[in-house]
Chains A and B, each alone.
Chain A
Amino acid sequence: LAKTTQPISMDSYEGQEVNITCSHNNIATNDYITWYQQFPSQGPRFIIQGYKTKVTNEVASLFIPADRKSSTLSLPRVSLSDTAVYYCLVGGLSGYALNFGKGTSLLVTP
């Protein structure tokens, strides 16, 4: 499975756009990229998933360059409630990404 590298932590003010980049240099052809959000005392929550180019849903956008060796999760206008740990996972078509990296701890302040 492809190994992922993310910044350990990030800080932001309310209302700003936050971009979290994940490196996955050895991503395989069949691998998807999935991002999760985890609040303290809760299980991880699915945010967004993509294979290439750009994916957008009601909470985030995911940008994937042509070489797919990295991806960027974009959170528009963050609020205090977006303070959480964000995980990037890479996994194949046969199902699923199984191994979590260390994640990025995002702190949003007023």
Chain B
Amino acid sequence: SAVISQKPSRDICQRGTSLTIQCQVDSQVTMMFWYRQQPGQSLTLIATANQGSEATYESGFVIDKFPISRPNLTFSTLTVSNMSPEDSSIYLCSVVGRVGNTIYFGEGSWLTVV
């Protein structure tokens, strides 16, 4: 399995500000994804982070609000822009393992917007 590290693990942010979450994987992976999990809810896919090209966003998510970078095969960032209290969620980075169809997740970044 892949080891995925996310930073920050937790943060409290002011309304209107932006925060960038980092995701570092211990091995090269082809596919990386960003999910959001709002309190008490299931996971929702935000986008697929594509290495060397623009991310592919799911319906309801846009690049201006959630810009994503993927400079190489082991690292990605997700920025939550112009935050509002509705953005208070856990943001999770995930990758597809080298064997089989298994997705592995980081421990998540807890954001609280006040």
Interface residues of A, Cβ cutoff 8 Å to B:
32, 34, 41-46, 49, 87, 91-93, 95-103
Q: Main SS of the interface on chain A?
A: loop
Q: Are A101 and B103 in contact (CB under 8 A)?
A: no
B45 within 8 A of A: yes
At the interface with chain A, which of B69-77, B80-88, B104-112? B104-112
Q: Are A96 and B31 in contact (CB under 8 A)?
A: yes
Number of A-B contacts (CB under 8 A): 54
B62 within 8 A of A: no
Residues of A within 8 A of B101 (CB): 32, 34, 49, 91-93, 95-97
B53 within 8 A of A: no
Q: Given A43-B107, A95-B96, A103-B42 in contact, is the A49-B33 Cβ separation under 8 Å?
A: no
Q: A9 CB to closest chain B CB, in angstroms?
A: 13
B17 within 8 A of A: no
